[in-house]
A and B are shown apart, each in its own frame.
Chain A
């Protein structure tokens, strides 16, 4: 297990390196620089700017500098927010994003598994068909369409909840709509996954045995069927994290939540190169780490998987 973890983390390094390299060199070959403005800057000022942002050295030296700084947790200065470093922006934005993302993930897991299990137990009934129809609808409505519709209904017409913002700490009433918008497609996806694997598990021999020895249906489902049926859901957690992080980019934009995703979009639109690359590297590392954790959990749950 320990050896496996070590190997996995080691193999994550080249992935991360490739991502950093692609992002880094893309900036350098991209047409237009970060200091292109309407009026031409005097050459001395431009030279000073280049020096200040470390752009006057040869490219390979810049790359090395970037890597060593990155290892120290320094993502460089933001081009757009002049007085902030990218690290500071990540520090302020990420806690907000993680609160949003984790809440959505928990909500998605709970309702997704619940709906999927109900549909599987009542296989081929109206309940099943209706649940799966709703799940398909949930998958097909993009969250950036769902979010404005939720705002229109619950904030504009009913006036139950605020249309956006975060408040000083992210109060519950500010969180409800963004979390729902973020979680809905995942609820739909997880419920389909759960239903599929649950239907299969319920047909297997050990469930027949459990029923034959007279266990109640509740015990059969919760004590025996649920754990193996959840394995595909566990392995979906990796892609789900990526989906929620990507989703939070638009959701934060729509609801005006001051998270990392919003900085990212602003950075992208304003060509704040260091910020964009910093966020991508940060999220990339996060996703790779999470995929690794998910694989470890999977190994603990599934006795068929052995890490040598």
Chain B
């Protein structure tokens, strides 16, 4: 009995020891993740953004369930009403009596959606273009990068304005147009990274032991590209949101009664003397979102770049 117990204990101890001596692999990602966790600004930003996304998706539904306000419901008794808990208009109402809280959240849906979709468009173009250019190398690479250089000097935002003027304010067009003008950075970065990876010893080594090209791309090139791409995604999203807000502010973005943060800021700026809340709430939501994305982008860059440890 006692020997059996001793055996049991000994085995448990051994197992415990084995667990501890087993070397835990530290991948680039787990390293980066632990560094990101230590970055207070970035972590706070992630939490705020998560809350923001949640609010933007479910907020309008909740408000509708409690107060019955929707983004295009006009409360004629409450025109340009100040924020108040009693009336249920927590952020006040706009010039035709629509609840500003719902509209701010609803506008956030559009702004965030544009941010994500347009970034995906730019990602698709940028990665394909950059990786092709980097992988082909030589004259093709030269030509492709020359084209990017030339495109860099074109003030695209003006062309997007032109597009909006001529083809009307179509939300799909906004997605595509903004995505199509913001892929240049991504292409350059991906191309540079691909070019430098192609010549690395570990790629050569995997070639030498007979790994196929698709496997090399999958196992070595893409994971190494991923870090920098993730950083640029988080930096492209706020830029894209800003472009959309800029267009909406000028009255060239989404159309009434749909709205976005830029359009709301525009309405707010016109009424700011009598109803400053119309400017302040959407403005704060927009700035806070951009702020968080920028901080996360910065934090990720620090976390994934082992040089600046």
Q: Give me the interface of A with B, judged by CB distance under 8 Å.
A: 11-12, 14-15, 18-19, 22-23, 26-27, 29-31, 136-137, 139-142, 144-145, 147-149, 151-152, 156, 238, 242, 245-246, 249-250, 253-254, 264-265, 268-269, 271, 273, 276-277, 279-280, 283-284, 287-288, 291
Q: Considering only CB atoms, which chain B residue lies closest to A239 in the complex?
A: B152
- 19 pairs from A and B in contact (CB 8 Å cutoff): A12-B153, A26-B162, A26-B166, A30-B166, A140-B288, A140-B291, A142-B290, A144-B246, A144-B249, A144-B266, A145-B265, A152-B272, A156-B272, A253-B250, A268-B161, A269-B250, A280-B161, A283-B155, A287-B155
A205 CA / B158 CA spacing, docked (Å):
45
B251 near A284: Cβ-Cβ < 8 Å: no
Query: Which stretch of B80-88, B99-107, B279-287 is in the interface?
Result: B279-287
Residues of chain A with a CB closer than 8 A to B153's CB: 12, 15, 238, 287-288, 291
The 9 closest A-B pairs by CB, nearest first: A30-B166, A140-B291, A140-B290, A148-B269, A145-B283, A280-B158, A141-B287, A268-B165, A144-B249
Residues of chain B with a CB closer than 8 A to A148's CB: 265, 268-269, 272, 279, 283
Q: Give me the interface of B with A, judged by CB distance under 8 Å.
A: 150, 153-155, 157-159, 161-168, 238, 242, 245-246, 249-252, 262, 265-266, 268-269, 272-273, 276, 279-280, 283, 286-288, 290-291, 294-295, 298
A14 touches which one: B150, B269, B291 (CB < 8 A)? Answer: B150
CB distance from B263 to the nearest CB of A (A): 11
A284 CA / B161 CA spacing, docked (Å):
14
A140 near B158: Cβ-Cβ < 8 Å: no
CB distance from B271 to the nearest CB of A (A): 10
Residues of chain B with a CB closer than 8 A to A12's CB: 153
A236 CA / B269 CA spacing, docked (Å):
31
B279 near A140: Cβ-Cβ < 8 Å: no
A145 near B287: Cβ-Cβ < 8 Å: yes
Question: Given A144-B245, A246-B155, A284-B158, is A136 in contact with B295 using a C-beta cutoff of 8 Å?
Answer: yes
Residues of chain B with a CB closer than 8 A to A249's CB: 250
A139 touches which one: B155, B286, B294 (CB < 8 A)? Answer: B294
B162 touches which one: A14, A139, A141, A277 (CB < 8 A)? Answer: A277
A71 CA / B249 CA spacing, docked (Å):
34
Q: Considering only CB atoms, which chain A residue lies closest to B293 in the complex?
A: A140
A137 near B250: Cβ-Cβ < 8 Å: no
Residues of chain A with a CB closer than 8 A to B158's CB: 246, 279-280, 283-284
A284 near B155: Cβ-Cβ < 8 Å: yes
A276 near B165: Cβ-Cβ < 8 Å: yes
Q: Considering only CB atoms, which chain A residue lies closest to B262 in the complex?
A: A144
Q: Considering only CB atoms, which chain A residue lies closest to B251 in the complex?
A: A269
CB distance from A126 to the nearest CB of B (A): 15
Q: Considering only CB atoms, which chain B residue lies closest to A22 in the complex?
A: B159
Q: Considering only CB atoms, which chain A residue lies closest to B249 in the complex?
A: A144
A203 CA / B252 CA spacing, docked (Å):
48
Residues of chain B with a CB closer than 8 A to A136's CB: 291, 294-295, 298
Question: Given A136-B294, A246-B155, is A142 in contact with B167 using a C-beta cutoff of 8 Å?
Answer: no
Residues of chain B with a CB closer than 8 A to A11's CB: 150
Question: Given A26-B162, A144-B246, is A246 in contact with B157 using a C-beta cutoff of 8 Å?
Answer: yes
Residues of chain A with a CB closer than 8 A to B291's CB: 136-137, 140
A23 CA / B156 CA spacing, docked (Å):
11
Residues of chain A with a CB closer than 8 A to B272's CB: 148, 151-152, 156
CB distance from B41 to the nearest CB of A (A): 8
A271 CA / B157 CA spacing, docked (Å):
17
A23 near B245: Cβ-Cβ < 8 Å: no
Residues of chain B with a CB closer than 8 A to A268's CB: 161-162, 164-165, 250, 252
CB distance from B267 to the nearest CB of A (A): 11
Residues of chain A with a CB closer than 8 A to B166's CB: 26-27, 29-31
A250 CA / B161 CA spacing, docked (Å):
12
A15 near B273: Cβ-Cβ < 8 Å: no
Q: Considering only CB atoms, which chain B residue lies closest to A27 in the complex?
A: B166
Question: Given A148-B272, A152-B276, A254-B269, is A23 in contact with B162 using a C-beta cutoff of 8 Å?
Answer: yes
Q: Considering only CB atoms, which chain B residue lies closest to A245 in the complex?
A: B155
A167 CA / B265 CA spacing, docked (Å):
27
CB distance from B301 to the nearest CB of A (A): 11
CB distance from A150 to the nearest CB of B (A): 11
Question: Given A22-B159, A26-B162, A142-B242, is A284 in contact with B279 using a C-beta cutoff of 8 Å?
Answer: no
B167 touches which one: A31, A149, A238, A265 (CB < 8 A)? Answer: A31
A265 CA / B157 CA spacing, docked (Å):
13
Question: Given A141-B287, A276-B165, A277-B162, is A19 in contact with B250 using a C-beta cutoff of 8 Å?
Answer: no
Residues of chain A with a CB closer than 8 A to B290's CB: 139-142
Question: Given A136-B291, A139-B294, is A265 in contact with B250 using a C-beta cutoff of 8 Å?
Answer: yes
A64 CA / B269 CA spacing, docked (Å):
43
Residues of chain B with a CB closer than 8 A to A156's CB: 272-273
CB distance from A23 to the nearest CB of B (A): 6
Further pairs besides A30-B167, A140-B238: 20, Cβ < 8 Å: A14-B150, A26-B166, A27-B166, A30-B165, A31-B166, A136-B298, A137-B291, A142-B246, A144-B245, A144-B249, A148-B265, A148-B269, A148-B279, A246-B246, A250-B246, A273-B165, A280-B162, A284-B155, A288-B153, A291-B153
CB distance from A259 to the nearest CB of B (A): 15
Residues of chain B with a CB closer than 8 A to A140's CB: 238, 287-288, 290-291, 294
A149 touches which one: B162, B250, B279 (CB < 8 A)? Answer: B279
B287 touches which one: A31, A142, A283 (CB < 8 A)? Answer: A142
Which of A141, A151, A269, A288 has its CB near the most chain B CB atoms (within 10 A)?
A141
